[in-house]
Amino acid sequence: MTTSHGAADPAPAAAYAQAAEAAGRAPSIHNTQPWHWEVHPDRLDLRADSSRALPGTDPDGRMLTVSCGAALHHAEIALRAAGHAVDVRTLPDPADPDLLATLTVTGDVPVTPEAMRLVQAAELRHTDRRPTVDIAVTPAQVEELRQVADAYGVHLHRLNPDQVTDLVVAVSHAEDAAAAEPAWQAETARWTGPDRPAGAGLPPEVIPDRRPETDVGERDFGTRGTLEVGGGHDKASTYVVLFGGDDDRAAWLRAGQALSAVWLHATVQGLAVLPYSQVVEIDGTRAMMRRILSQLGHAYVVLRLGVADPEHALPGRTPRLPFEQTTTVDDLGA
Ligand SMILES: Cc1cc2nc3c(=O)[nH]c(=O)nc-3n(C[C@H](O)[C@H](O)[C@H](O)COP(=O)(O)O)c2cc1C
């Protein structure tokens, strides 16, 4: 078998292993990377790994599932960029709830420039907690991202100025609730402190060195990092909500696929992205988000879009767990 550009096509099992490896770059709540891949000769299975769950912060596994959905999208685009047509089944076995998805290569597809752009963006994508500069995100950029989310059945709504004011209040309530919750604080400390697991969690280089001067307060990790935030603000930032009609695991997986797709397209557009999930993690503020959305749906995650201040250092890269820790490969020779 050859790809459209003439290179030898890897055997599917090797392609599945490469896709699992590429999916390791996906974003995840607190960089927990709560997924486990099983490479089989005929398919790639994605499982939730509850050993890296956040029971205090994320008791229902919402953010865990959204994170796994983002990894699923990363694997999907890696297979497409390698010239494979892929069939994706989510939650394929009701008797096996940890099996979140199965990907199966069904044939060859031409490698499109779009597929190449997305896998390249996956290498560059990162969470940007630097404030943004006075360059507005254009309506055309937001419209493109809306269409990208729509392809996964997920809505993207740009918050108007009044709704951003409501978001400021919701974020502040969420931070107060988190500060009053010892289990929450303990988990944040575990994934951002010196005892975080090797290859996971947030290193000091990606945590601001002081509270940024933004209207919508950034997540408080309870520790000062070394990321220079400079004097930017969020006045020209755009806040969008990914939301949908359902609030169950299937919906959260789709939200994760859409989050990854939107984030990678925003990266191609040159935009900096920062998720805000604390307002969705806490019951009271999740209800506030529903009111902000005029009860039209359930919020999955809020994103700040903007242009980062080029004067200030790029955030360092977050580490990743070794491949062997997130992936089991069986019967490669079969
Ligand atoms: C579902 C989800 C929720 C997240 N929530 C937040 C958040 O509330 N605040 C924040 O600063 N980063 C948040 N992040 C970003 C993660 O911390 C980040 O993806 C992870 O540390 C890996 O870093 P990277 O995105 O730079 O590769 C979230 C990411 C995901 C996927």
Residue 32: CB within 6 Å of ligand 1?
Answer: no
The pLDDT tens digits of the residues spanning 122-142 come to 999 999 999 899 999 999 999
Residue 225: CB within 6 Å of ligand 1?
Answer: no
Widest distance between CA atoms in the chain: 59
Strand partners, 247: none
Candidate from 25-29, 121-125, 167-171, 327-331 with smallest mean pLDDT? 327-331
3 — pLDDT class (breaks 50, 70, 90): very low
Residue 299: CB within 6 Å of ligand 1?
Answer: no
Residue 63: CB within 6 Å of ligand 1?
Answer: yes
Distance 65 CA to ligand 1 centre (A): 13
Residue 127: CB within 6 Å of ligand 1?
Answer: yes
Calculate mean pLDDT across residues 196-222. 94
pLDDT of the residue at 101? 98
| Percent composition of the chain: helix, strand, coil (DSSP 3-state, to 5) | 40, 20, 40
The pLDDT tens digits of the residues spanning 144-202 come to 999 999 999 999 999 999 999 999 999 999 999 999 999 999 999 999 999 999 999 99
The pLDDT tens digits of the residues spanning 29-75 come to 999 999 999 999 999 999 999 999 999 999 999 999 999 999 999 99
pLDDT of the residue at 2? 39
The structure's pTM equals: 0.96
Calculate mean pLDDT across residues 311-316. 77
pLDDT of the residue at 332? 53
The mean pLDDT value of the chain amounts to 94
Measure the CA–CA gap between 311 and 28, rounded to whole angstroms: 27
Measure the CA–CA gap between 93 and 49, rounded to whole angstroms: 17
Does 315 score more than 80 pLDDT? no
Instruction: Say which residues have a Cβ less than 8 Å from residue 245's Cβ, sequence separation at least 6.
Output: 251, 297, 298
Work out the angle between the directed axes of helices 62-81 and 113-124 (0-180°, nearest 10).
130
Q: Containing H/E element for 238?
A: strand 238-244
Our mutation pick for probing the ligand 1 site, out of 220, 271, 277, counting the most ligand atoms within 8 A of Cβ, is 277
Which of 47, 82, 134 shows the shortest CA–CA distance to 308? 134
- Mind listing the domains of the chain with CATH numbers? 12-125 (3.40.109.10), 139-306 (3.40.109.10)
Nearest-CA residue for atom 5 of ligand 1: 277
Could you give the C-alpha distances from 8 to 11, 82, 103, 319, in angstroms and in order? Answer: 9, 10, 21, 31
Residue 130: CB within 6 Å of ligand 1?
Answer: no
Q: Which atom of ligand 1 is nearest to the CA of 30?
A: 17
Residue 257: CB within 6 Å of ligand 1?
Answer: no
